[in-house]
């Protein structure tokens, strides 16, 4: 048993765009395909990215309510998207996502080293996702083969109260991990709903600028980009993520150790999230 050397009790990570799947391409590309397969409706990758972080049924509903999508949907079908339409797209989404999720399970740069460093300090590793349990059941063992094994995993449909931006998934982690103080927890996410989830749970929040949904870079694009290109991507993501007022904004998980040290310092000085 590792004796704690940190005042921080747990870090709760998102999955796609945070821990695995640089750029969060697995869900976005599948949304585009599901709209096409279910209704022969063309959805842009940018539209698919818009509500990222919500549970997938809620995500489809939010996409359908976008003015640009609603206008085209009405032009094509003579009405706005209905609950039955959402159910049909979700039904198309699920098998596509399960078939392809393993292709996007490789951990993002330095994730394993950073997570193992947290564990070495006695910090518990929680996780939650906008993916439903049946998708997570495919993703979890593949990520484990890469070396990522969190202490707790909560899927968006594990709880009857629903997912983000409500705090229930994060608080389920707190319960399962036997955390005694939510103010000693850190929520790390690449989407606004995930950061709001952390705020609503009373945790420190860390938003990721470059590895996730808002920048939308592939790993190859990230590695090939010069500083000017990275700054453009950073500012694009920052403009969206600043709306949810995270305590910290960093590029990727690689930068998390410095943030953890600063949170530790602030906690020892008596600060709370």
Q: Does the annotation count 56 as an active-site position? A: yes
Looking at the fold, whether 112 and 98 belong to one and the same domain comes out as no
pLDDT of residue 3: 60
pLDDT of residue 162: 74
Looking at the fold, whether 46 and 135 belong to one and the same domain comes out as no
Looking at the fold, whether 87 and 206 belong to one and the same domain comes out as no
Q: Which residues pair with 59 in a beta bridge?
A: none
Looking at the fold, whether 207 and 122 belong to one and the same domain comes out as yes
The answer on pLDDT for 44 being more than 70 is yes
Number of domains present in the structure of the chain: 2
For CA atoms 216, 218, 223, 225, give the dihedral sign. Answer: negative
Instruction: Answer with the one of 65, 80, 102 that is the final residue of a domain.
Output: 102
Residue 250 has a CB neighbour count (10 Å cut-off) of: 18
Whether this prediction's pTM lies above 0.85 is answered by yes
Looking at the fold, whether 97 and 112 belong to one and the same domain comes out as no
| CB-based contacts of 219, cutoff 8 Å, min separation 6 | 22, 23, 108, 109
Looking at the fold, whether 148 and 238 belong to one and the same domain comes out as yes
The answer on pLDDT for 166 being more than 80 is yes
Q: Does the annotation count 14 as an active-site position? A: yes
Laid out side by side, the sheet with 185-189 consists of 124-127, 10-13, 185-189, 204-208, 248-250
CATH code of the domain containing 35: 1.10.150.240
Question: For the packed helices 192-200 and 168-176, what is the interaxial angle rounded to 10 degrees?
Answer: 60
Residue 4 domain-assigned?
no
User: In terms of residue numbers, what domain contains 233?
Assistant: 10-24+105-268
CATH code of the domain containing 17: 3.40.50.1000
- Among 14, 157, 189, 190, the active-site one is 14
**What's the mean pLDDT in 43-58?**
84
pLDDT of residue 19: 97
Of the chain, the percentage scoring pLDDT greater than 70 comes to 99
Instruction: Answer with the one of 87, 102, 117 that is the final residue of a domain.
Output: 102
Looking at the fold, whether 179 and 133 belong to one and the same domain comes out as yes
Looking at the fold, whether 41 and 172 belong to one and the same domain comes out as no
- How does pLDDT run across 202-211, given as a tens digit for each residue? 999 999 999 9
Looking at the fold, whether 115 and 142 belong to one and the same domain comes out as yes
- Among 21, 36, 40, 56, the active-site one is 56
Give the least confident one: 42-51, 125-134, 243-252: 42-51
**What's the mean pLDDT in 156-173?**
92
- How does pLDDT run across 235-253, given as a tens digit for each residue? 999 999 999 999 999 999 9
Instruction: Answer with the one of 102, 124, 141 that is the final residue of a domain.
Output: 102
Residue 89 has a CB neighbour count (10 Å cut-off) of: 26
Lookup: tokens for 211: 């590895």
The answer on pLDDT for 2 being more than 70 is no
Looking at the fold, whether 79 and 177 belong to one and the same domain comes out as no
The answer on pLDDT for 52 being more than 90 is no
Cα–Cα distance for residue pair 72/153, rounded to 1 Å: 38
Looking at the fold, whether 55 and 117 belong to one and the same domain comes out as no
CA distances from 250 to 123, 169, 207, 255 (A): 20, 23, 6, 6
Of the chain, the percentage scoring pLDDT greater than 90 comes to 78
Instruction: Report helix, strand or coil for 79.
Output: coil
Residue 127 domain-assigned?
yes
Looking at the fold, whether 78 and 124 belong to one and the same domain comes out as no
The answer on pLDDT for 178 being more than 80 is yes
């Amino acid at each position: 048993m590792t004796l704690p050397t940190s005042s921080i009790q747990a870090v709760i990570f998102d999955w796609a765009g945070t821990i695995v799947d640089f750029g969060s391409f697995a869900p976005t590309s599948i949304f585009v395909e599901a709209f096409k397969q279910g209704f022969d409706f063309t959805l842009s990758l940018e539209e698919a990215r818009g509500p990222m972080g919500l549970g997938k049924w809620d995500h489809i509903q939010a996409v359908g309510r976008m003015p640009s999508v609603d206008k085209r949907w009405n032009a094509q079908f003579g009405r706005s998207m209905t609950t039955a339409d959402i159910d049909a797209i979700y039904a198309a989404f699920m098998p596509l996502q399960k078939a392809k999720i393993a292709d996007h399970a490789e951990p993002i740069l330095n994730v394993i080293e950073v997570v193992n460093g947290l564990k070495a300090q006695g910090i518990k590793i929680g996780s939650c996702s906008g993916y439903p349990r049946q998708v997570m059941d495919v993703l979890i063992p593949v990520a484990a083969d890469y070396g990522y094994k969190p202490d707790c995993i909560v899927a968006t449909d594990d709880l009857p109260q629903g997912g983000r931006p409500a705090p229930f998934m994060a608080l389920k982690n707190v319960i399962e991990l036997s955390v005694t103080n939510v103010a000693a927890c850190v929520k790390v996410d690449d989407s606004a709903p995930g950061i709001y989830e952390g705020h609503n749970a009373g945790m420190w929040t860390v938003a990721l600028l470059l590895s996730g949904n808002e920048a939308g870079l592939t790993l190859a694009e990230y590695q090939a980009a010069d500083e000017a290109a990275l700054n453009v991507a950073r500012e694009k993501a920052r403009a969206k993520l600043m709306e949810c007022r995270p305590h910290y904004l960093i590029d990727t998980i690689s930068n998390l150790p410095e943030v953890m040290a600063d949170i530790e310092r602030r906690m020892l000085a008596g600060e709370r999230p």
